[in-house]
Amino acid sequence: MCNMDYIPRYTRLRDGLEIPTVGLGTFQLIDMDTTKSVIKDAIRIGYRHIDTAAVYGNEEMIGEALQEIFSDESFGVNRGDIWITSKLSPGSQGYESTIYAVQISLAKLKLEYIDMYLIHWPGTSGLDPQDPQNKVNRIESWRALEYLKDKNMIREIGVSNYQISHLIEMEEYAKYLPSVNQCEFHPLLFTKDLVEFNQSLGIAFEAYSSFGEGNLVNGNYNFPVLEEIASKYCASIAQILLCWGMQHGAIILPKTSNTNRLVQNFESQKITLSEDDMDAINNISLTRTKRFIWDSNIIL
């Protein structure tokens, strides 16, 4: 099963645009030289999708890297070839604050438009999770994103960390439903109901923390079934986890600053797991579950 050819995968969004299924996550890239080096390496490897956020503090660094890439013919890409996603800080919820935040992101990224902009979190910084103002603010933020989409400043709009309850309420107030919902997703947090609910609304599911914040690949959590499947496909456990996510219909956003792992993550697209192997990985969550990042179930 080794040495398989592959074509990079794309996921069609509700508006008909296609987003590269394998993106580069950039959380914790906070050094200018490292960030620029990782972005450039990723583009040379074949990545065409970069995911950032206002709270990551690296939009300006990514913008610098992109300008250097677009002006260097050796990369062979232009602006239209690269998909850029950024996200609204939980501290910027509200109509006017959202418009201002997007303008700041555009300036830092040095772009005329952003391919996709997400509400990063259904709550607002400083508010109690059960404060009804959380809902008021995210409705206003969404209306601002709809306005910016209509103005062609953003091509696609979406959400992150939204639970089923948050999506149900969007059906009541949204002019446009989200193109994506980006959430933590891995075999220890196999949120099948959430994935299927998104898909039932035509919302693409994006997975972050595919490695459980590294715990599923660094030895902190050992599952012999993952080792056995990885050996069967001549792959790393990381590649198997990414492939598992993609076969559940997810867009994946692995992050690393290591060039060899950048290649491995991108080449996870070579693998297609059997139904039995998918079931075996799914069943990990029957005996153990773990959420490593934010739990938005607490947000009213």
Q: How confident is the model at residue 279 (pLDDT cuts 50, 70, 90)?
A: very high
pLDDT of residue 256: 97
pLDDT of residue 1: 45
**Dihedral of alpha carbons 164, 162, 125, 138, sign:** negative
Mean pLDDT (the chain) is 97
Mean of the pLDDT values across residues 275-281? 98
Phi-psi region of 234 (alpha: psi -120 to 50; beta: other; left: phi over 0): left
- Report the topology of domain 10-298: TIM Barrel (3.20.20)
Annotated binding site for substrate: 120
pLDDT of residue 86: 99
Q: What is the crossing angle of helices 192-200 and 164-173, to 10°? A: 20
Could you tell me where the beta strands, DSSP code E, fall in the chain?
Answer: 10-12, 18-20, 24-25, 49-51, 83-88, 114-119, 154-160, 180-184, 204-208, 250-252
Partner residues linked to 85 by β-bridges:
51, 116
Q: How confident is the model at residue 5 (pLDDT cuts 50, 70, 90)?
A: low
Q: How far apart are CA 222 and CA 230, in angstroms?
A: 13
Q: Residue 6 pLDDT more than 80?
A: no
Mean of the pLDDT values across residues 184-210? 98
Is residue 38 within 8 A of residue 31, CB to CB? The reply is no
Q: Which residues are catalytic?
A: 56
Burial letters 168-203, b for 16+ CB under 10 A, else e: eebeeebebbbbbbbbbbbbbbbbeebbebbeeeeb
Residue 60, judged by CB atoms within 10 A of its CB (0-12, 13-18, 19+), counts as middle
Which of 170-179, 216-225, 268-277 is least confident? 216-225
Q: Residue 194 pLDDT more than 70?
A: yes
Q: Residue 71 pLDDT more than 80?
A: yes
Residue 55, judged by CB atoms within 10 A of its CB (0-12, 13-18, 19+), counts as middle
Annotated binding site: 120
Which of 37-46, 52-61, 134-143, 211-220 is least confident? 211-220
Which residues, including other chains, have CB under 8 Å from residue 16's CB and lie 6 or more apart? Answer: none
Task: Name the percent of the chain lying above pLDDT 70.
Answer: 98
**Side-chain half-sphere CA neighbours of 252 within 13 A:** 31
Is residue 270 within 8 A of residue 6, CB to CB? The reply is yes
Mean of the pLDDT values across residues 153-162? 99
Q: How far apart are CA 135 and CA 139, in angstroms?
A: 6
Closest CA to 236 of 211, 213, 208: 211
Regarding pTM above 0.85, the answer is yes
